[in-house]
Every structure is written in structure tokens, then in C-alpha cells.
Chains A and B, each alone.
Chain A
Amino acid sequence: MHTLITLFWVAVAIALAMGAGWLFLAAARRLTRGGVARALRGAPVSAGFGMLVILIYVLVALFAHLIAPFGERQVVGAQFLPWDGTYLLGTDNLGRDMLTRLIYGARNTVGIAFATTVLAFSVGAMLGLLAATVGGWLDQVLSRIVDILMAIPSLIFSLLLLTIFGTSVVTLILVIATIDSTRVFRLARSVAQNIVVMDYIEAARLRGEGLWRLITREILPNALAPLVAEFGLRFCFVFLMISALSFLGVGIQPPTADWGSMVRDNAALITFGDVTPLLPAGAIALLTVAVNFVVDWMLHRASGLKE
């Protein structure tokens, strides 16, 4: 019986999500024009749902201080209070409002993951494009370094580096960005290598175009679609990694509100049948699902356009 009820609610949730995705797509198609509208016309409901979720997360992160009922680090009551009218989702292990922490978590966890991805991406993509375009010893050296760094499992490597450099937000961002940029480098290089062999690149080289123009005008526009999709995937990866590290206690440090550590701090409640600690974990999962849905659609589009 219990399982049936759960299944029922899961079905309801999926139906609602699909409905929301459909509505969002319908609205977005009306509000946009030109190329964007044309792209949206073929988008599946899952992608619409994904975009809607991402939009909501961004809004919550930006306006956290306006939405949250209490202060981020404010102790408002007793520990582990149940859900009620004042503390909609109860309180945590230190008596802070759960909902408030969740809302600020959107800003902190997502913000840090986003900053890390942007950093990893700018460094990795730039070096990858450069290595593929210039070739020769530069490519050899960079590729060998990346090969070695990628041969160390990323979670293990980041645990090692965080032990040494400590666990401030800055080191966290730098360490994860360094590790992740190797993956971006790999992809950017292989995408660019497929472009570099094209005749139009040869034509541009023979025309006497400089390196900068070659990369920005001839290669980058053609590499953009896979790179944007990769940005989504990398964000998911970084986001899950930071959450895992926080969950293990070596990521984002208290008292900053963060979803990974919220799960860890309140995990004890689960064995008592309280779903509250699952909420921050679910918040992480929902965002990654949403990004993955959008990326999946983009990859599908990119491969469809090639044919």
C-alpha cells in the first residue's frame, strides 16, 4: 500500500512537471522571436521543464535575501523542530530555519559551482582550442600534462589537494576548476581538431589569418554547439562534486548554507522517517536533472543538424 501511494505521488509529480514544461515552452515560444523561437518549436517537454527549473533556481539564487523568511545564519528556535506555520520546513540541527537555509543554499552552492565551471571552462576551452590550432610541441606538452592529471580519479585528487590547501571557498573553486579544466581541455581539443582539418581552416591559414582571428572567427563559431552542451554537463559534474565534497565535510564550510552539508548535518532524521534532509539532496538532483534535460535536447539538435 505504502509503495502504491508513493508511486501515485511520483506519477502526479511527473505529470505536473510535464505540464509545467509544456506551459513554459508555450509561453516562451510566444515571447521570443527569430532563431530562438524556431529552436524552441522543436523542443521536447522535458527541455521545457528543464529550462523552467533553471530559471526558477536562478531567480531564487538572485533574490534569496528577499524571499527567505529568516537570516541565513540566524538561530530561530529549538533544534530539529517539525514543519509548522512559522518554520515551514522545520529547523535544522542548530535550530536554524530549514527553508531559509535551502533558499540561501541556492545562492551559495549553485553560485560556487557556476563560478567554478566558468573558470574551468574558460581555461580548459581556451587551452584546448589553442592546442588543436597551433599543434606541435605546445599540443604535445599540454596533452601529456592533461593525460597525467586525468589519470588520477577526480574525487580522490580533490580530496588530496583540499587536505593540503585547506577548505576555503577560494581553494575549493581553484582546486575543482583545475581538475575540471582538464576534462574541458580534452573535449575542446578534440572538437577543434575535427574543425582544424577542414579545408576552410586551411584556406584561412593560407590567406594569412592570425591565430586570434583563426580561433575566434573560424573555429569557435563551429565549436560552439558542442561546447555549450559540454558547459551544461561540466556544470552538473562540478555541482555534484562540490555537493559530494560538502557532504563529506571538506567542501563548503559552515556556517555558510549549503545543500551538501545540510544533508550531512541532518541525515540522522532520515532513519526516523523524516524526509527533511532529503530536500536539499532533492534540490541538487532537480537542478542536475533539469540541466541534463536541456543539454540532452541541445546535443540531439546538434547531431540532427549535422545530418
Chain B
Amino acid sequence: MKDTATGKTVLLTIRGLTIEGRSDETWSEIVKGVDITLHKGEVLGLIGESGAGKSTIGLAAMGFARDGCRISGGTIDFDGIDLRAATKDERRALRGKRIAYVAQSAAASFNPAHRLMDQYCEAPVQHGVMSRAEAERDAVELYRRMQLPNPDEIGFRYPHQVSGGQLQRAMTAMAMSCRPDLIIFDEPTTALDVTTQIEVLSAIRDIVAQFDTAAIYITHDLAVVAQMADRIKVLLKGEEVEEADTRTMLATPREDYTKSLWAVRSYARPVQPPVTDAVPVVSVRGVTAGYGAVDILKNINFDIHRRRTVAVVGESGSGKSTAARVITGLLTPRQGEVLFDGEPLPSDYRRRSRDQLRQAQMIYQMADTALNPKLRLRELIGRPAQMYLGLQGKALSERIRGLLDLIELEPDAYIDRLPSELSGGQKQRIGIARALAAEPQFIICDEVTSALDQLVAEGILKLLDRLQSEFELAYMFITHDLATVKSIADEVVVMQNGRVVEQGPKDEMFQPPHDPYTELLLSSVPEMDPDWLTRLLQERRNKAEA
């Protein structure tokens, strides 16, 4: 089938797709009439926030619906085959052979009981594409093209013996094993650190281009999709917002929703006046700490001043969360100490006074697990005020209402709700209110926006900013996301393998020269420019040659 307008062959046509999901024994539509046209060799980016139905649509392109979901309407035509009318066996014959899937978590999607090679060879051998010996030779070749270390040997390892970034590339190789016409990539780099993400992205892009494979690339990250896709489709709550080729979409989005997604990255807080108070609120002095015999933190030093936000940045395993545990007193350091207002804090929280506990509060990444699901907001927020400030009865009630006002939730409507009756962003606001209720000087924000959609995260950052100037708070902002650092930090502490590799004011940090690791970290953050990845790889190659 030829598309008359472009002259390219159409591979996949989806029209009026509706998918229903079951909750509490009733079915409701989660995908509401989506159309997709995908040509051979083309990469379509599906982008949207959580609940947009991206993954569900991706699986439907394989004629597959998860348990608790069902395809209820529309047509799915793959290269002339009607996937909804096809028999189970016909659909199965396509999967793995002509349409392949790359899952978000490779660690969970590889079978722990079999070697990578066995799992690689399964599809080509079972679908009768190659013999086992051919498949093994082919695997080594693809592992090499995916830039995996030791391509001759890596296939004979078990999944748990291979790192996350490598597994994700091995899974892409496995998807390629039958040279499919179409691959569905379902957030393949979301679980990876930024520096690892680059390698996986470039490997995926190269291999898809080499074999001229069509792909549907699902992600919530705009900058990533800008590198990978030829065209982008924006989804919201199971419906299409708009679709255009990548450059058009990035340059001139038509719809307000798309514009608002694009605009998020532009938020930045105003530059703060220089520090005037001599004594920092919190001072971490020469802290070395760890679990068992292993040092996670090695001689860490940094200060946090009043009305200042210090962003502690690092990838997983850098020790940034451990630093927070030392400050809060959950982990006793082997060496060094934490000063509060110039006074040393007891290293164990159980030996800190009630007032010392009150002064340092914490906001957690997962609001779901940070709020006791069985307590109502009244008690969740009220407890610190009751405990630390001795508020009772009417005064307490007034205080709770005041706090709800502060976080922009209507007191009458919310005060007697349970956390389960709130949205993700609202829960995070309750976490903030609980911290404020103690009237602290210092708050640790541990990845507070990373579990939230971008628009919601934006609201939280603005709120935190406003509260900081209102109550002269000092923030320690733990994050792996440099975009968040750019928008909220005054000072930055970069951590790697338990050491501080660089620290200083934000403006200096984002200007060269950098420490090599900071450089790597900064340069690895995807930008909204479709040529960014190509340029970056070229630069790195040049540097390596020079």
C-alpha cells in the first residue's frame, strides 16, 4: 500500500482505536479513538504524561492488550493484516518476528533463568527464521553493533550478571533478532542514569537506521523523543492532542497543551542576593559514612545558608541520599559531623532534642509512601504542630487550615480527606505542609519532583520557591535531574561515587571549565534540539581522537 501524498509505503494504520480498562468490575475507556499512520522505516514518537495511554497504544499496535485491558473499537492494520480480525496464531506469528517489543525495565523483562543468548535465539529459531547456530553468530554481530563490551562473550551471561544499560541494549538487539519491520520501544531509557542513557539512545538510533526499521518510540521525555523520532504525536488522557514532524512540533506547536509542555523547561528562579549571614544553617564537615565495611560517603563538606537552595546532584550510587541520612541522623557517620546554626548535632536522631528535630524537616520523593494512608490530612499536617508547638483544639485547627491555604488547597474541601483521595501533586503538597507545620529552618527535598509529571512538578517547584522567601528557609535539594537544578538551585554540589567532585554557585557550575565528570553529566542531559545527540556524539568522538 502506497501513501499517495508522500510516496512512502505505509506499514501500520490504526484508525479510531479505543481501549477499555477495568477497575472495580466496570470497564472505562482509557484510549479514546486514536489514529496512527506509520510508514516503513519511520520512527514515530508517542509522548504524553502518565495516564496518556502511550504504552497501551504501543502494545495495541502488536494486537496485544494487558490483563484488565481490552481493545474495544477501531481497526489495526499491519502491512495488510487486520490484527483485530486475525486469529491468535496469526497474531502470534507476527510478534517477535515482524513486530518486536523493547520494555522499560530490561532487568525485569529478561527471564532470570536463561542466558541472554538463549533468549536472543528463541524468537528466530522458534519462528523458523534462522538455525540456532546462525542465530548465535547473528547475536554476536548485533551485540557488537549495539556497542556492548565483549560481544563474543556477553551472551553467555545471565541477566542479573549484566548492568542495566547493557541489558537495555541487549534487549534492543534481541528485538532486532528477526529483523522486524516494526519495533515498539516502551520508555527504554527511563530507568537509566543520564550518562548511561546517551549510550543506549545512540545505539538504538543507529541500529534502527541501519536496518531501516520502523519504530514507535514511547516516552514522557520531550528532549529524548526529539532525538529519536521523525514525527511526534502528543497524547493526553487517551486522546491525540496533535501530530507533526519533529522539527515543526518543536519549533511551532499548535495546541496550548503542547505549548505548556514545551514551556516547562523555561522556568528559572531569580538570582538571589549574595549570602550575608556568616553562620550557615547547616554545615556538613568532613563526613565519611557507609554501611558495613563500605564507605558510601568519603569526606564530604558543604554548607547551606538561610534562604538558599543547595542542589546535591548525582547519579544512582553517588551517595546523595546517604548524605541526607547523615544530616537527619538516620546514619551515624564514621568521621566528621553536622553543624546546625554552628552547633554540632548529635549524630543519632534519637539523641537529638525535640527542637533539633523540629528544625530540620524532610520532603520525600514518593508522596505515596511518605504519607500514612490511614490518617486524614487533619492529623497528617496537625501532628507536627501539636507535637512541637503544643497547639490544641481551635488553635490547632486554625493552624491546619492556614497550612492548607499555604499549599493552595481549599481547607474545607480537603481537611478530612485521606491521602488516597488526592492526586499525586496534591499529595506532594501535603508533604510540604507537614514539613512546614514544624516551622523548621531547614528542609531536605529528596527528589521531590521526579515522580511527578512535568506540569505538576513545575507547580511544586514554584510553591517551594515562594515558601522559601516567605519563611526564609534553607533547602537541600537532592536530585538527578539537571533541568530541575537549573531552575531552582542557588548553589550546586556534584557528587560521584561518594565524593564531591565539584561545588559552587549555579552560574559558575553551568559555565566551563568543569570537572570532567560534571562535564559528562552536563553534556549528557538531552536538549530539545533534534540535532543535539548527533552533535554530542560527534564532539565526543572528536575529543577522543584528539
What is the interface of chain A, defined by CB distance below 8 A to chain B? 42, 198-200, 202-209, 217-218, 221-222
Contact = CB atoms under 8 A, between A and B. Distances in A.
B329 interface: yes
Nearest to A200: B372
Contacts of A217: 375
Contact of A222 (B362, B370, B372, B434): B372
Interface string B355-383: 00100001010100111111100000001
A180 to B, nearest CB: 27
A206 B372 contact: no
B372 A207 contact: no
A254 to B, nearest CB: 48
B362 A208 contact: no
A199 B352 CA distance: 20
A221 B362 contact: no
A203 B366 CA distance: 12
Nearest to A204: B372
Contact of A200 (B25, B354, B371, B387): B371
Interface of B: 25, 328-330, 349, 352, 354, 357, 362, 364, 366, 369-375, 383-384, 387, 434, 438
A198 B369 contact: yes
A207 B357 contact: yes
A42 B23 CA distance: 13
A208 B357 contact: yes
Contacts, number: 43
B362 A205 contact: no
Nearest to A225: B374
Nearest to A195: B372
A200 B357 contact: no
A218 B354 CA distance: 19
B374 A208 contact: no
B357 A221 contact: no
Contacts of B369: 198-200
Contacts of B362: 203, 206
A97 B385 CA distance: 66
A205 B349 CA distance: 8
B434 A203 contact: yes
A214 to B, nearest CB: 11
A222 B375 CA distance: 10
Given A199-B364, A199-B366, A200-B369, A207 B374 contact: no
Contacts of B387: 207-209
Q: Nearest 3 CB-CB pairs, A to B?
A: A221-B374, A199-B370, A199-B364
Contact of A202 (B330, B354, B357): B330
B329 A207 contact: no
14 contacts: A199-B370, A200-B371, A200-B372, A202-B330, A203-B434, A205-B349, A206-B329, A206-B362, A207-B384, A207-B438, A208-B352, A208-B387, A217-B375, A221-B374
- Which among A204, A206, A217 has the greatest number of chain B C-beta atoms within 10 A? A206
Given A199-B366, A205-B349, A218 B372 contact: yes
Contacts of A202: 330
Nearest to B349: A206
Nearest to A209: B387
A13 B375 CA distance: 45
Given A207-B384, A222-B373, 7 more contacts: A198-B370, A203-B364, A203-B370, A206-B329, A217-B375, A221-B372, A222-B372
